[in-house]
Amino acid sequence: MLALARWLMRGTPYAAGGAALAALVPWLFWLGAAIAALVTLRKGFAPALPVIIAAALPAGFWWAQGDVIPLASVLLVSLMAVILRERMRWSEALIVGTLAAAVMVQLGIFSPPGGTELMLEQLRESSQEIDRMLTEFANQGIDTTTLAAMVIGGVTGLVVLLAAIACLALARSWQAGLYNPGGFREEFHALRLAPKELAILVVLGVAGMVLGAQALAMLSWIPLLIAGIALVHGFIGIKGMNGLWLVAFYVLLITTWPTILIVLLLGLIDTFANVRARLARSN
């Protein structure tokens, strides 16, 4: 895909056209978002604005059709690209992206078309088991409409945030491949949260639970997860291990919850212990 990135960076018309076409094609919105992020990372927000708009307009069409994920992803990855370009810290870009995604969830942007009530009614009609479960929740005093809105919004916000992070990583790898070979690998392997950044995430999560902003509590662990993933990449890189270890790691990460908890714990330990620096010294 590096050849595609090289062609896109020949000029703004190329990048804008590529971003618009990708965002218009179903399930290729991630490519349009990555193109917008690439131009933002390389040239800055103002020069990249035509490309961002070119990606956002087709994504806005899909929003009108009931799919909010493409436009939310384009806007979120563009914001994170601006932060990463200006601050040169992945951790800060991740925290800002998490906050923005949580705000989207709290504003109800990811609520299903037609409202949560209509969706619950359709679920009740489609399955007696779901109808019985929702009735039990209601008998226990749980507002099923609010619960469903929180779950749907939170899961969709999580998907959008992860998609935006993946698009940002793709754009950064393109940028490094074109202008700084090997730079992205070194940058990502060094990603870790500083103690004060971890404290910010903890405060956000607790504040979300106390103030009823559940989206903050649901998403505040994502930067720590990415830091843990970066630690695994860095460990495998330092030890010179076969790339199949990464494949096995991602299979476990996607399919098992315990792996996610372990990676979170690794990210937490690395915040205070700086594991990669210790490994580098021991080698």
Same domain? For 120 and 143 the reply is yes
Q: Which of 173, 188, 203 is the last residue of a domain?
A: 188
The two structure tokens encoding residue 191? 């990603």
Mean pLDDT of the chain: 90
Q: Which domain holds residue 99?
A: 1-188
* Together in a domain, 172 and 194: no
Task: Name which of 117, 118, 101 is nearest 208 in CA terms.
Answer: 101
* 216 vs 113, more confident: 216
- For residues 64 and 143, state if they share a domain: yes
Read off the pLDDT of residues 86-109 as tens digits, 9 standing for 90 and up.
999 999 999 999 999 999 998 888
Shared-domain flag, residues 161 and 225? no
276, with CB counted inside 10 A (0-12, 13-18, 19+), is: buried
pTM: 0.91
Same-domain check for residues 183 and 268 = no
Residues 202 and 167 in one domain: no
| pLDDT winner (highest mean) among 74-78, 85-89, 126-130 | 74-78
pLDDT single digits (tens) 158-202 = 999 999 999 999 999 999 999 998 899 999 999 999 999 999 999
Pair 133, 195 in one domain: no
In the chain, pLDDT over 70 holds for what percent of residues? 90
| pLDDT for residue 117 | 65
pLDDT of residue 153: 84
Q: What average pLDDT does this structure show over 239-263? A: 92
Mean pLDDT of 106-118: 74
What integer is the mean pLDDT of 55-72?
93
Separation CA 41–CA 184 (nearest Å): 12
Predicted confidence (pLDDT) per residue in 257-283, tens digit: 999 999 999 999 999 998 888 887 776
Are residues 42 and 9 in contact, defined by beta-carbon separation less than 8 angstroms? yes
What is the per-residue pLDDT across 31-48, written as a single tens digit (0 to 9) for each? 999 999 999 999 999 999
At residue 119 the predicted structure's pLDDT band, cuts being 50, 70 and 90, is: low
| Number of domains the chain contains | 2
Residues 238 and 141 in one domain: no
HSE-up of 201 (CA within 13 Å, CB side)? Answer: 27
**Would you state the pLDDT for residue 116?**
65
C-alpha to C-alpha distances, 1 to 6, 39, 44, 73, nearest whole angstrom: 9, 15, 22, 20
Residues 6+ apart with CB under 8 A from 245: 236
The domain boundary residue, chosen from 145, 166, 188: 188
pLDDT tens digit sequence for 227-243: 999 999 999 988 888 88
Asked if 38 and 142 sit in the same domain, the reply is yes
In the DSSP assignment, the letter for residue 26 is T
Query: Is the pLDDT score of 124 beyond 70?
Result: no
What contacts 24+ positions apart, CB below 8 Å, involve 81-85? Answer: 81/36, 81/37, 81/40, 81/41, 81/48, 81/168, 81/171, 82/40, 82/44, 82/45, 84/41, 84/168, 84/172, 85/40, 85/41, 85/44, 85/45
Q: Predicted confidence band at 139 (pLDDT cuts at 50, 70, 90)?
A: confident
Shared-domain flag, residues 132 and 204: no
Residues 229 and 249 in one domain: yes
Same-domain check for residues 176 and 238: no
